[in-house]
Amino acid sequence: MSSCVTTPHHHHHGCFSGSRRRRRLLQAPAPRARPRLVVVAAAAAARHVAPPPGRAVASRAMSAEAPLGVAPAAAEEEMAAVVDEMAEEAAVWCAVHGLVVGDRAEPRSGTIPGVGLVHAPFALLPTRFPASFWKQARELAPIFNDLVDRVSLDGEFLQDSLSRTRQVDDFTSRLLDIHAKMMEVNKEEFIRTLLNRHGKVLGLDSKRIPQNWAATQFAEALSMAWTEFNNKRDGQTVSVVYFRAGYSPNDYPSEAEWRARLLMEQSSAIKCPSISYHLVGTKKIQQELAKPNILERFLNNKEDIAKLRKCFAGLWSLDNEEIVKTAIEKPDLFVLKPQREGGGNNIYGHDLRETLVRLQKEQGEALAAYILMQRIFPRASLTHLVQGGVCFEDLTISELGIFGAYLRNKDKVVLNNQCGYLMRTKVSSSNEGGVAAGFAVLDSILLTDE
């Protein structure tokens, strides 16, 4: 599930001065005296307390006076040294701890195990994030989990809502076929487990940096599912199936993969996600849930419904002629999303207008292949990014995703909680935002009282 809220946000990244997009290749650190970070930070703060007029970026939070006797040129050089040292140490940390991805510049990457790896892209310093919004996002996770579970049990709602999408999207159609077969045999998933993430686009005390144990808590949730399965035939019966892949047509290159997916759904194993959970996560279902009175179909608590609605961005089908007309006139205020997961598929600006005009002329079921979403405009801020061994500074925006874990055994809710977060930061000029797709970097957060 996804949710979006617009509010100003700031970064702690902009604390070191430097020209925008200045790139520095990381090198092995040479022996040198360690820069005095406190002095450098204070000097940086003094330079950024009053940003240049008209600069639409966030200023940093520190408010210290420049130390006496530190010349601007010397402070500049010392700040650059701090950035280089931090970036080098962070890249080494990534390598030591396995935070690596395939190197797109290495032709053999992905073909030979262990060859062509590079540190995952990351932001050097944490994003400043209002504690009130952090609390709100965490409180929403259990509500989203409960909503997904309840929607998943309404097979007719899923089939009806996605009936038109099936006509134009073969991947969704194949998933619906499997779901329909499970409905025909009245197969019930008595033990259901869900690991999901809902997102928020939000427009140096260590206690202000929240712990992030997403991987550990995901593992604990899967372990609890195994315990609930409670089958003593060790080594013979599969208890839990966790889908690391399977969310894209590329994951099903032949009929063999589709037969395997059907076989897993037919089995007694706990699926994470089950076919019904998978379908609830489609963009079309998100759009349906944003319609008036639909949440009331699945949730009884009015306060929970209000909290969810408060975080929904505008979502519309292309059957809404009025909103389509508005999007053609003002394409920069919208995003056109196809039924595809991952980055690199959304349509913006001039391309959005052209696509909508073409779809209007074609009419027919082609309209069901997309949904329109209100575009969110978070406040941009200067950030030090490290990608492919290169450290550079640019204007960025961020998206916070809260992970949730849910486990139910018949009428008993065993687990329903938030369990960590994912902060993705991207250059503000980029429309897409997936880390795996190469558009964004991993980030962390620093909670603030503002």
338 in a labelled binding site: yes
Strand ordering across the sheet containing 445-448: 10-11, 127-130, 445-448
Please tell me the distance from the alpha carbon of residue 379 to that of residue 396, in angstroms, as a whole number: 8
283 in a labelled binding site: yes
273 in a labelled binding site: no
344 in a labelled binding site: yes
424 in a labelled binding site: yes
155 in a labelled binding site: no
178 in a labelled binding site: no
337 in a labelled binding site: yes
346 in a labelled binding site: yes
76 in a labelled binding site: no
329 in a labelled binding site: no
Give the CA dihedral 105, 110, 115, 116, nearest 10 degrees: 20
- Which 3 state secondary structure label does DSSP give 430? coil
Please tell me the distance from the alpha carbon of residue 368 to that of residue 138, in angstroms, as a whole number: 33
Please tell me the distance from the alpha carbon of residue 119 to that of residue 351, in angstroms, as a whole number: 33
342 in a labelled binding site: yes
249 in a labelled binding site: no
* Strand intervals (E) in 26-134: 100-102, 117-119, 122-123, 127-130
32 in a labelled binding site: no
To 10 degrees, what angle do helices 72-96 and 37-48 make?
120
370 in a labelled binding site: no
- Cβ(79)–Cβ(417) below 8 Å: no
145 in a labelled binding site: no
According to DSSP, the β-strands at 117-119 and 100-102 are: antiparallel
**Buried/exposed 319-357: b ≥16 CB within 10 Å, e otherwise:** eeeebbeebbeebeebbbbebbeebeebbeeeebbebbe
182 in a labelled binding site: no
36 in a labelled binding site: no
Among 312, 408, 320, 395, which Cα is nearest to 359's? 320
The answer to whether the Cα torsion of 94, 96, 102, 105 is positive or negative is positive
Residue entry with tokens 């609605």: 309
Please tell me the distance from the alpha carbon of residue 44 to that of residue 64, in angstroms, as a whole number: 9
Annotated binding site for ATP: 283, 337-346, 348, 373-376, 399, 426, 432
Binding residues for Mg(2+): 341
Residue ranges of the binding site for substrate: 424
Query: Annotated binding site, which residues?
Result: 283, 337-346, 348, 373-376, 399, 424, 426, 432
